[in-house]
Chains A and B, each alone.
Chain A
Amino acid sequence: MAARGRGRIRRIVGLPLAMVMSAACYPATAAAQPESRPVDLPDGPARPGFDINRFSNAGNGWFETFYVEKTESLSAVLEDQRVADDTRVLVLETATGKLALLTDQMAYHHIAQGRAGDKDWMATF
């Protein structure tokens, strides 16, 4: 951990690819994965009980948050056969009602953010 800029940089050097490959929910094609990027950390404070020394940057930079800009009718997407009856989805409540996200895609994105009815929402998975 070295000081840089306004915060600290945490880096795990040479994260073994074998570790990367074994991480379920992390992309299976480990060979294509970049090294985990360092994280620019502030200088605290820490929430009581939180030990910053146990934080690892493993996986930083591998995933992209899904910023939702448009939605479609799920029934129409089903009719178009772009999903099937048994396609797995995650359902949350937004200010305008329920919204579905595809589980397959959220296993990669981990975070989705969007806006509905003038209110911002976020799903984490």
Chain B
Amino acid sequence: MVCNSGTSLVPTIDGTLHHFDNVGLYDALFVMQDKESSTLWNHITGEAQYGPLVGRTLGPVGNLLQMNVELALELDPDIPVAISSRRYFAGGRAFGEGPVPTGPGRGDGPAAGEGRGAGPGRARGPGGAAGPDGRGELAPMFVTTLGTEDTRLPRMGMGLGVLTPTTVRFYPMDRIRERGEALIDDIDGRRVLVYVDPDTNTPAAIFVDASAATLEGKEVRLDSGGVVRSGLVYDAAGQRLDAERPQQLFSRWYGFALTFPGPQIFGQ
């Protein structure tokens, strides 16, 4: 979960902008601190953890969706991008300054051995090398910050966490793959498609009007006649639909379960 899942938050408290830094670890996840009050904050839930602003939340929490440039432009051809001076790689070339980046998409990403290609899911885990099961291990500097873990799944197992106002459910990657990398589930009385995006090899969830889904090439075909392609939903007539996405996090089990204790596990 360290560095491989994220959210969008609102950094304004009582109308005042606060400025945040990454200052350490807790539950093996990075912790934010705002300069204005020195309060420590959970970077996933936006909740104040320690300090004078305990009780406050940097909400509403929104999705930070993982995709590639092609999909982002499909989603919105006019989408802007913010690029810092930091080094990054694109098209086999290096841009920017600083050391070679690590982390998701760079070959040292957190999801050890669970992805394919160059996506999140290669090589190393957060603070540790890949273990024999390909899931990686946490280094001691992370382990010492862990609370009591939920042992129903392997600590480093990757999956998609989906959150609604009444449901918190984790979809392990291997369970999604067992079901052909696309499945329809029911959350709060609504049908949700959970699938592994064929372009980015990352899991995603979208509310759909269908009861079965099949991954065929780069498309997810719905039994309603609809299709999900490049993260977009089309009806049987080929009309693009405004698809709603539940709050979701591509994360490791330990981080998700420590952040949202006692989540439901799909298929269990």
Contacts and interface: CB of A to CB of B under 8 A. Distances in A.
Interface of A: 7, 10, 15, 19-20, 22-29, 32, 36, 39-42, 44-47, 50-52, 54-60, 62-63, 65-68, 70-75, 77-78, 81-93, 97-114, 119-125
Contacts of B66: 88-90, 103
Contact of A84 (B2, B91, B145): B91
Q: Is the interface of A mostly helix, strand, loop or mixed?
A: mixed
B243 interface: no
Given A40-B38, A111-B22, A28 B108 contact: yes
Contacts of B105: 88, 103-104, 107
Contacts of A120: 10-12, 17
A56 B26 contact: yes
A105 B84 contact: yes
Interface residues of B, number: 103
B50 A83 contact: no
8 contacts: A10-B24, A24-B103, A24-B124, A32-B99, A106-B6, A110-B43, A111-B22, A122-B8
Given A81-B91, A111-B43, A74 B10 contact: no
A123 B6 contact: yes
A125 B101 CA distance: 14
Contacts of A73: 78, 80-81
